[in-house]
Amino acid sequence: MAVKPDVDAYIAEMGRTVTDYLSTLFANPGRPARLFESMNYSLLGAGKRLRPILCIAAAETFGVGVDKVLPAAAALELVHCYSLIHDDLPIIDNDDLRRGRPTNHKVYGDATALLAGDALLTYAFEQLSQPLGISADKQLQMIHTLAHAAGAYGMVGGQQADILAEHTDGDLELLQFIHVHKTAKLIQASVVIGSLFANASSQELDAVAKYGLSVGLAFQIVDDWLDVAGSEAEIGKPVGSDERLQKLTYPRLVGLEKTRELAESTMQEGVEALTSAGIQAPLLEAIGEYVVRRTR
């Protein structure tokens, strides 16, 4: 029987590796310095680095080491950090705290925060289009995967649907659309991009994509749960913001207990997609379990 990986140790170690790499990106600030300070402020905050870690873990599943994948893994965190900055702005969720510190616009003002987000998003594609030592076809596929997951067909579309659903009586179908697009598509892109570094077959890539979408949806279901039942000190931002904004969430539609059950079963569906395709992925399975039991 395969030994279960120590996933907490793996996440801690890879999180440090990713943060060390991110800290090199804008180490010599350009001009104007305030823009780069604002970008570094959000990029180097105490995030879990889940998306880059999933990218690295997917590559490792198919035998590719972390060093080769790090630049692409960083691109995923750059997109994620941009989305957090914009999401916190007064015109979107109007949040004051993120990752245990004042939000970017609270420190640098709305205009700089907006621009820092734009700059991080754009840099993600500069990062992903640099020479990565892989075929041009594979690299184009990665760039396309990230763009599709981040834009109107992914995160931005999901965010728009989320805003439109505030103060409405949406149903589970709409809620799933929002969560899949707002959150799960970028998580799916993370594991697909990691797998593209290897010679994964199209059947393996399909299974990894299913895993990513399910684990991404489970991640956002748990996020909904934490916003009601989590601890502000652990998650680094106030709980109850979904209630304040009258968001459509799983606890609101199905209650807290069923929310947890759905998170678990959704994650299991993702893991089963890997198993059915014959992929040995103890690390991805363990990260799936971490996503459901996380407290931050």
Does 99 help bind ligand GRG (rule: CB under 6 A)?
yes
The one-letter amino acid at 60? E
Long-range contacts of 236-243 (CB under 8 A, 24+ apart): 236/46, 236/97, 236/98, 236/99, 236/100, 236/101, 236/296, 237/95, 237/97, 237/98, 237/99, 237/100, 238/95, 238/96, 238/97, 241/93, 241/95
Of 78 and 277, CB closest to ligand GRG? 78
Q: Binder to ligand GRG among 10, 22, 76, 86 (CB under 6 A)?
A: 86
Q: Is 92 in the site for ligand GRG (CB under 6 A)?
A: yes
Q: What is the DSSP string of 213-280?
A: HHHHHHHHHHHHHHHHHS-HHHHSS-TTHHHHTT---HHHHH-HHHHHHHHHHHHHHHHHHHHHTT--
Subset of 121-180 contacting ligand GRG (CB under 6 A): 155-156, 159
- Establish if 237 lies at the interface with ligand GRG (CB under 6 A): no
User: Does 242 engage in binding with ligand GRG (CB under 6 A)?
Assistant: no
Task: Tell which one of 21, 34, 48, 239 touches ligand GRG (CB under 6 A).
Answer: 48
Q: How far is the CB of 92 from ligand GRG (least distance, A)?
A: 5
One residue of 42, 104, 127, 220 binding ligand GRG per CB under 6 A? 220
In degrees rounded to 5, what are phi and psi of residue 102? -55, 145
**Among residues 38, 61, 83, 249, which is the contact residue for ligand GRG, using CB under 6 A?**
83
| Residue ranges in contact with ligand GRG by CB under 6 A | 47-48, 50, 80, 83-84, 86-87, 92, 99, 155-156, 159, 182-183, 220, 223
